[in-house]
Chain A
Amino acid sequence: MAHEQASLLLSRQLKELNKSSVDGFSAGLIDDDDLFKWETVIYGPPETLYEGGMFKAHLIFPKEYPHRPPKMRFVSDMWHPNIDQEGNVCISILHEPGDDKYGYEKAAERWLPVHTVETICISVISMLADPNDESPANVDAAKMWRENFEEFKKRVTKTVRKSVEEL
């Protein structure tokens, strides 16, 4: 049942997104037969360091969706405090539901079954615009962001250029 519910929700989202795409990202399936594997292109948000970038990311949903969160991984090179070296996105809404055992995040900030591909992408876009350096996934990037912003800027600009060249 859970499986059917997930397929239902995901195919609905796919239809909606195809019909009227939302600004800021584009999303579709990697393989047309698998509703649980999505690929997205996230546009670097304007007026940020990431502006102009076209970042590819994969979104892998568990069978238990919407009760459990998907995993999101950037395929394009990224340099951001909340994206680890492998490209995995670390934001609270993608964390398993329930209270954080370390007490950093409240349940309300974590995964909720209302999230969709769209809300996730929008959250990621806002994460690009506004990094959270309290719980960095990429410590080096976070350190650079805090201590050597010029260097951070240069590094990000490089990834932006690279992401567009790869298109």
Chain B
Amino acid sequence: MAENSTKPEKSGVITVTVKTPKEKHNVEVKEGATVRELKEEVQKKFNAPYEQLCIIFAGKIVKDEDSLEQHGIKDGLTVHLVIKTANRTAPDPLTTRLSSTTGSAAPDVSQTPFNLGGIGGLSGLSGLGMGSSNFMEMQQRMQREMLNNPDMLRQLMDNPFVQSMMSNPEIMRSLLMNNPQMRELMERNPEITHMLNNPELMRQTMELARNPAMMQELMRSQDRAMSNLESIPGGFNALQRMYRDIQEPMMSAAQETIGANPFASLVNSGSTGTGENTQQGRENRDPLPNPWGSPTPRSASDTSQTGSTEQNPTAGMFNSPGMQSLMRQMMQNPQMISNMLQAPYMQSMMQSLAANPELAQQIIGNNPLFANNPQMQANFTSMMPNLLQQMQNPEVQNMVTNPRALEALMQIQNGLSQLQQESPNLFTSMTGLGSASPLMTGMPTTPTTQSSTPAPTSGILSEGGPLGQGPQNNTAAFSSMMAQMMQMMVGGQQNQPPEQRYASQLEQLATMGFVDREANIRALTATFGDVNAAIDRLLQQR
């Protein structure tokens, strides 16, 4: 194939890749050669009579007497070759399937700028679970399975977890944006960014994905697109990684709590708690259960590592880089927190956390935020059950998702610490009072004259009390922790300059060709970071 690759670069010689649907050769010609000279070389390489050769470049059929320069055929570029048949009855040179060449062609970084578009990005979604080293084979197997078993697909799509996940373009987008590889991919291909930033399109895609009939129809015709997707070098890996880092841990968490989950038998690292997966490390010959399915031989080493070091698969999930960056993002993004908290799977996750304090401890131990601060860790651990209970309180959820409420809480917090400094006695008695009052249990229906925001707050703040530890110590420690937490949550929103706060959005805008950074910042500030709205604004200003 690559005849020239070993030869050193000679001056005055250019290498052109000549491609037919069947084969591909590199052909060397001298600089400034004519098409005729190129064809003479091609003739030798492809064993075809000169008269039957036809060179096509950039949509033009190039003529023999033209020079290569004239058409901009330069070193390293690819031209298409058509070998015409001398006789119509002879076997046609184009008999091989078009797609069959894709596999043999060397993967090229820029080979496929954006093939997802042809099928509305669906191939990307259905490719999430596809991790076989032999992608095409796996793909075909999956298609077969899917088509043979529409119930499976419907089950998958009807799963509340998948649905809630999919019905929220914001979450999907955040998840995708979170992955550095995916981001890189998006930077290289603004079209993908475009797709992801178009909530309408995302929703349509998800709508499609949820409709089994339509999905089937699409699956049938996406062979070629899939093979192209495969040739985006980063693309496949990014999808696979996203699946591994985010989807799978989420799934196992959901599985932990939803016993009747139709996935229960399908998702790996079952609830035995050993973290051992029976399917790991060997090829999956069983009917492929679902496109989000079990991990691949390729990823097996990673997964088994996690599995063996961690007692509990769910705790392992919080160790995964994906989950940690997810958490970091959550801290910076109240919108996402609210989405997450409202999602049913999140609630069940919390329930499982509440029911299993050890698990919570493990999570905390693994969280870099707490790892450096043993005191905070201990405090947090002792309060975890209550805190979780509080978190399930709808009012607390509302509060957490409301930046203004957070700010107010922050102020109260500051006030309290001040109060504590100024008159510790009063503070203690007040906290004691709080413990005695029904407020501390976080009852949302408490008929007080207080506004709803402080009510659950004081519930949280006085949580230290019933744990039977020194109320004052505990409360003080908790206060500082709360203060820190709040600072992180609120600070992430309000105190950063817009350049930092909207760094990723700015980058997106820049990739799309909006070069005026100042204008971009203004637009993003005005639209609270909504890229689409910012674009509209920018376009209108012009």
Q: How many residues of A contact B (CB 8 A)?
A: 55
Contact of A122 with B225 in the complex, beta carbons under 8 Å: yes
Cβ of B54 under 8 Å from chain A = yes
For the complex, give the distance between the alpha carbons of A54 and B52 in Å: 13
Contact of B117 with A114 in the complex, beta carbons under 8 Å: yes
Contacts of A164 in B (CB 8 A): 82, 84-85
B interface, how many residues as a size bin? Answer: 35 or more
Q: Tell me whether A4 and B115 are in contact in the complex, defined as CB-CB below 8 angstroms, given that A28-B60, A45-B98, A52-B92 are known contacts.
A: no
Question: Which one of A35-43, A77-85, A144-152 is at the B interface?
Answer: A35-43
For the complex, give the distance between the alpha carbons of A164 and B51 in Å: 13
Contacts of A119 in B (CB 8 A): 114-115, 117-118
Interface residues of B in 96-112 (CB under 8 A from A): 96-99, 101-102, 105, 108, 110-112
For the complex, give the distance between the alpha carbons of A130 and B221 in Å: 10
Q: Tell me whether A1 and B542 are in contact in the complex, defined as CB-CB below 8 angstroms, given that A43-B82, A46-B95, A114-B114 are known contacts.
A: yes
For the complex, give the distance between the alpha carbons of A122 and B98 in Å: 11
Contact of B98 with A167 in the complex, beta carbons under 8 Å: no
Contact of B221 with A116 in the complex, beta carbons under 8 Å: no
Total contacts A-B at CB 8 Å: 150
Q: Tell me whether A16 and B120 are in contact in the complex, defined as CB-CB below 8 angstroms, given that A21-B19, A46-B97 are known contacts.
A: no
Closest to A107 in B: B204
Contacts of B94 in A (CB 8 A): 43-44, 46, 51-52
For the complex, give the distance between the alpha carbons of A44 and B200 in Å: 34
For the complex, give the distance between the alpha carbons of A108 and B112 in Å: 22
Cβ of B419 under 8 Å from chain A = no
Question: Which one of B172-180, B191-199, B348-356, B396-404 is at the A interface?
Answer: B191-199
Contact of B58 with A122 in the complex, beta carbons under 8 Å: no
Interface residues of B in 104-133 (CB under 8 A from A): 105, 108, 110-118, 120-121
B386 to chain A, nearest CB (A): 47
B175 to chain A, nearest CB (A): 19
Q: Tell me whether A26 and B58 are in contact in the complex, defined as CB-CB below 8 angstroms, given that A20-B108, A51-B95, A52-B85 are known contacts.
A: yes
- The DSSP consensus for interface residues of chain A is mixed
Contact of A114 with B194 in the complex, beta carbons under 8 Å: yes
Contacts of A161 in B (CB 8 A): 88
Cβ of B258 under 8 Å from chain A = no
Contacts of A44 in B (CB 8 A): 94
When each residue 115-155 of chain A gets 1 if its CB lies under 8 Å from chain B and 0 otherwise, what string results? 11011001101100010000000000000000000000000
Contact of A54 with B225 in the complex, beta carbons under 8 Å: no
For the complex, give the distance between the alpha carbons of A117 and B54 in Å: 23
Contact of A167 with B19 in the complex, beta carbons under 8 Å: no
Contacts of B85 in A (CB 8 A): 52, 164
Contact of A23 with B101 in the complex, beta carbons under 8 Å: yes
For the complex, give the distance between the alpha carbons of A29 and B113 in Å: 18
Interface residues of A in 1-60 (CB under 8 A from B): 1-2, 4-5, 8-9, 12-14, 16-24, 26-30, 32, 38-41, 43-47, 51-52, 54, 56
When each residue 531-542 of chain B gets 1 if its CB lies under 8 Å from chain A and 0 otherwise, what string results? 000000011001
Contact of B102 with A23 in the complex, beta carbons under 8 Å: yes
Contact of A1 with B82 in the complex, beta carbons under 8 Å: no
Contact of B512 among A5, A39, A41, A108 (CB under 8 A): A5
Contact of A114 with B121 in the complex, beta carbons under 8 Å: yes
Cβ of B190 under 8 Å from chain A = yes
When each residue 197-226 of chain B gets 1 if its CB lies under 8 Å from chain A and 0 otherwise, what string results? 010010010011000000000000100110
Greatest chain A CB density within 10 A among B72, B95, B110, B225 is at B110
Contact of B512 with A115 in the complex, beta carbons under 8 Å: no
Contact of A16 with B92 in the complex, beta carbons under 8 Å: no
Contact of B59 among A40, A113, A167 (CB under 8 A): A40
Cβ of B522 under 8 Å from chain A = no
Contact of A167 with B61 in the complex, beta carbons under 8 Å: yes
When each residue 63-106 of chain A gets 1 if its CB lies under 8 Å from chain B and 0 otherwise, what string results? 00010000000000000000000000000000000000000000
Question: Can you show 13 pairs from A to B with CB atoms below 8 A apart?
Answer: A19-B110, A24-B21, A24-B98, A27-B58, A38-B59, A41-B56, A44-B94, A54-B56, A54-B61, A122-B224, A126-B221, A164-B85, A167-B84
Give A residues with C-beta under 8 Å from B: 1-2, 4-5, 8-9, 12-14, 16-24, 26-30, 32, 38-41, 43-47, 51-52, 54, 56, 66, 107-108, 112-116, 118-119, 122-123, 125-126, 130, 161, 164, 167
Known: A21-B78, A113-B194, A118-B114. 12 other contacts (CB 8 A): A5-B513, A18-B58, A19-B110, A28-B57, A41-B56, A43-B94, A46-B96, A46-B98, A114-B114, A118-B112, A119-B115, A167-B84
